Chain A
Amino acid sequence: MSAVTVGQSSHWRRVLSPTGNTGDVVFRILMLLAALLMVGIVVAKAIALSADSMLSLRQFGFGFLTSQQWNPIKGEFGALPFVYGTVASSLIALLISVPFSLGISIFLVEQAPYYIARPVGFLVELLAAIPSVVYGLWGIFVLAPVLRQYVEPALARWLGWLPFFRGTITGIGLLTGGIILAIMVTPIISAVVRDVLAAVPGSQREAALALGATKWEMIRVVLVNGAPGIAGAVILGLGRALGETMAVTMVIGNRPEISFSLFEPSYTIASAIANEFTEATGDLYLSALVELGLILFLVTFIVNGIARLLVWNVTRNTGGVGRAA
């Protein structure tokens, strides 16, 4: 929003006007070029990734997504195990982190006094500042042993009648990947939910309380009001979980097999690229890995797009500032 009020129709004329101040024309064109570069990057990514995966696209077609065989030595490339591992680990992450994120946001926005909400909010945000590779290191040497010794045996004993909690207990597998992801997406989801809750008008709270609602009943009113934005926050977290690479690669076991047991090693799209890209021998192998990258790009672009639209609709009208990057 600039100070000069110019109608939408004259906008392009103003940006490209040859008769205006020369400095202004140069300035606006330079800024416009930077903006166009952003669009260009998205287009270039789509084109470059498609071009370099053409070999694999031609060879396997849609079967790439439905085949379970990933055997580079035999030249067989099917992405289904990676798709399964990616979706399963992300869902585990959301299952754990969504209740936590909601709890954290509710506490920070609705309950904690200012002098607690600010520092504590900062500490939660710091969780998002920890690099992925550091989570991975911590996952290998702290989380995986704890899961192997205590958590997974307990799950197998009490919930072993479910197919999810059977199999060899190693501490390295789908569950470990999901838990690490949950810790990583919690600050992202809760930051956006905080913005969304803060954007719900105070009059909603006052009305609920005035009608005799308890604190929790009032909070439920606020949650219903912010529901689309909360959905956006969750989808944003999903987008992050789908593409998270290093931490997952280090704890998920990297075996391209589909197993319903959460204890068994799995493999995600992102970790397959990270692990095998520099070792890929042969054009078809490399092309298949680039196609994995193309799939990840398209899926996360769509997922993030949907999430942004949902969050914008809630926070934009009330002037909320999107804190989470």
Chain B
Amino acid sequence: MSSNRFLTAAATLLALLPSAVAWAQQPDTGGPPAAPSSTAAPTDPAAPASSASAPNSNAPAPTTPASDQADRAQEEAEIAAELAKNQAASSPTGTPTPADSSSSSESTGASASSRGLSNLMNPAISAVGIVLGGASSRPEGTSVAPGDLQTGIFVQEVELRASAIVDPFFRADVALAGSSDHVAFEEAYLTTLDLPRLTLRAGQMHSAVGRHNLLHTHAFPFVTAPLPWRALMGEEGLTDPGVSADLLLPLPFYAEINAQVFQGDWAPLVGSIPDNPATAVDESVPDRRRNSDFAYVGHLKTLFDMSDATTLELGTSYVGGRNGFAGWSNLAAGDMTVKWRPVEAERYMGFDWTTEYVWDERGHAPTDHTRGGGYTAVRFQFAQQWWLQARGSVLGLPQGDSPRIWRGEGLAAFVPSEFSALRLQYGIEKAANDPSPLVHEVFAQAVFSVGPHPAHAY
């Protein structure tokens, strides 16, 4: 039954994809765009005032409306085909944005920033939304790790962020993140501005464990965090109230050390085990973590320039703390990233390859005493707005109490601008020594961000 439903949903999604791509590449056939100036071209009254004409247009109106429209349509189709062939452009022509006016402003003089003076002192406010929908053949009610994708349509996350310089000494960042069922402070922290070589931070923040744990959901390279990350560190990752000292080492290459202390209410450290109602024996173990049991995090990140276009980043992390079983938990992680961006075509091409591994050991834990997992992912940008990506991950390496689970994901992303993205991901998952069939998933995701232009992390 459920696999039938899955197939139908998957087929629908796949059928929609080509038309979405076609929509993105098709010329605007709605009629000739209206010119903004008084000497307008012949205009179909039904046509939206769309993305057309350049400023100071004095062009006389050519030929009759009907034949001109046909000419235009043909020329547009030809150009669209050439653009697609050139792989350099493919844009949402005729996107029905309500305020689609493109007359580039040529005006000089008078300041016309729409921001009033009073707004200058306000924090930079931005909002990010992620809508996710798709189908999974995973039987309902089963799950191998928190955050497994389930069939349906969701608001995966809405994030509201405010950032501002507090005074000459501090900057503050607040991010409120919510999904369909809960809202929480993802981040709220203070950062020092004025110390040489050193940044101190205090508040709720992502701990500096590897690379992926530092990412916000909307910056995830794939729809979800890697399987082993969700299984070992929980759906929210290692994020908690804490303090951090981030030190830039005085070396000829980039090397940063983060020394952090967190409250540490995290999956590798909590120790409660709920009773299994299926058995007669009471296996429940209460969490024996005390308020004074912190998590200590250390992280070293280095980056080397291999050439003008290529960098190699190597990082290593450690998390330690007394766990809820009254033992000591250790978590170690390593990461490696190679990035290539051709200097003269950074907008059009890029490649990166990231591999991360994480291992933990939970002292006194009755099950899953040691766990581990890793992933390797490649991302390839082949045109200004297009990315292809693949990731393979494994949970239970080198071993674990539970069976080893393999997962593969492929993703295609259409990124119309820096502020939006449409992504389609296909995933498969298989547990070793498990007779149940392969899990298949197809998910489509739309991401938007509004607000000030973001400064991108590398």
Partners in one complex: no
A interface with B by C-beta (< 8 Å): none
